[in-house]
A and B are shown apart, each in its own frame.
Chain A
Amino acid sequence: EDQVTQSPEALRLQEGESSSLNCSYTVSGLRGLFWYRQDPGKGPEFLFTLYSAGEEKEKERLKATLTKKESFLHITAPKPEDSATYLCAVQPPRAASKLTFGTGTRLQVTL
């Protein structure tokens, strides 16, 4: 059974204080790993897809990396508008539509 564990559950940062969110996964072969951002009362918003170990993708202050067992979402010099819940999901190779989501990391960035 595919499993996704995200840590920490919640993270509070001051503006400009860089940090990383972790997504550990167990899946029999990985077709893709997804990162989403979810604001309160809204649906998740797609950020990145990573396909193979060593791959990195960046978007503004966010950089996602992937190893064979986990993915990191690095947040550099965060701003209050980066406050959200960040979700990770894995996609198995033979059931591409059946993503397994983690429970998310709730990030709060304060002034």
Chain B
Amino acid sequence: NAGVTQTPKFQVLKTGQSMTLQCAQDMNHNSMYWYRQDPGMGLRLIYYSASEGTTDKGEVPNGYNVSRLNKREFSLRLESAAPSQTSVYFCASSEVSGSNYGYTFGSGTRLTVV
């Protein structure tokens, strides 16, 4: 059972470069989420997709875009990376939006912007 798979695991970008973080889940979940985790701060929601074909902003959406490619895949794009976007990014999924059964998280992408 793969669960939630994120690629890449590590990435170093120069300021101004762009990149896309990939996320795929194999649990037939309807909802998917992107979080960032920074030292001394809790996980913060960037964007989420309650169901295929919909996306909504979370707490910290500026500088990011997302695409729900199909039910399995939800990508996060940084169009022009900034040092403030240095963080660990987690993708998660749940059966339904805001599921009380908890979210399944991927193992994260550690991004450094220099």
Contacts and interface: CB of A to CB of B under 8 A. Distances in A.
Given A49-B100, A49-B102, A101 B48 contact: no
A103 B41 contact: yes
A43 B106 contact: yes
A32 B72 CA distance: 26
A59 interface: no
A44 B33 CA distance: 13
Contacts of A36: 102
Contact of A45 (B41, B105, B108): B105
Size class of the contact patch on chain B: 20 to 34
Interface stretch (A64-72, A76-84, A91-99): A91-99
A34 interface: yes
B104 A96 contact: no
Contacts of A51: 100
Interface stretch (B12-20, B62-70, B76-84, B90-98): B90-98
B24 to A, nearest CB: 14
B102 A101 contact: no
A43 B42 contact: no
Nearest to B110: A41
A4 interface: yes
Interface of B: 4, 31, 33, 40-45, 48, 50, 56, 58-59, 90, 92, 97-98, 100-108
Given A45-B105, A98-B58, A99-B45, 8 more contacts: A41-B107, A43-B92, A43-B105, A43-B106, A44-B105, A97-B98, A98-B48, A103-B41
Interface of A: 4, 31-32, 34, 36, 41-47, 49, 51, 87, 89, 91, 95-104
10 closest A-B pairs by CB? A96-B98, A43-B105, A46-B102, A101-B42, A101-B43, A97-B98, A97-B97, A49-B100, A44-B105, A32-B100
29 contacts: A4-B42, A31-B98, A41-B107, A41-B108, A42-B108, A43-B4, A43-B105, A43-B107, A44-B43, A44-B90, A44-B105, A46-B101, A46-B102, A49-B102, A89-B42, A91-B100, A97-B31, A97-B45, A97-B56, A97-B97, A97-B98, A98-B59, A99-B43, A100-B42, A101-B42, A101-B44, A102-B42, A103-B40, A103-B42
